């Protein structure tokens, strides 16, 4: 999850829903640099990138897995 100072309440919600979540704090207030850092942390592993203000659906874990099983090399964006 990408976050920055002042958004701790959002991060707490996501940590509650996804305890294994890795938090990347943007110290430079540069969203692109923080995203690139998130890609480096993920390396070549599967990863779901979240912003700190994401609101998760009840079936959040199932939706990405189902889509990735169908087309595993694509990038997906799940939004409202």
Q: Which residues contact 2 (CB under 8 A, 6 or more apart)?
A: 24, 26, 31, 34, 35, 38, 49, 50, 51, 52
For residue 53, what pLDDT is reported? 87
- On whether the CB atoms of residues 64 and 78 are closer than 8 A, the answer is yes
DSSP secondary structure code for residue 61 in this structure: T
**Secondary structure class of 41 (helix, strand, coil):** helix
Per-residue pLDDT of 1-17, as tens digits, reads 888 888 888 888 888 88
Per cent of the chain over pLDDT 70 is: 81
A 10 A CB-CB count for 78 gives: 12
Q: Where are the domains of the chain?
A: 2-70
Mean residue pLDDT of the chain comes to 80
Q: Name the pLDDT band for 80 (thresholds 50, 70, 90).
A: very low
Most confident of 5-9, 56-60, 66-70: 5-9
């Amino acid at each position: 999850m990408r976050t920055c100072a002042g958004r701790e309440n959002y991060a707490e919600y996501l940590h509650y829903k996804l305890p294994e979540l890795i938090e990347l704090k943007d110290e430079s207030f540069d969203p692109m640099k923080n995203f690139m850092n998130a890609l480096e942390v993920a390396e070549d592993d599967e990863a779901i990138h979240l912003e700190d203000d994401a609101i998760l659906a009840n079936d959040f874990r199932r939706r990405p897995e189902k889509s990735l099983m169908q087309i595993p090399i694509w990038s997906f964006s799940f939004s409202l």
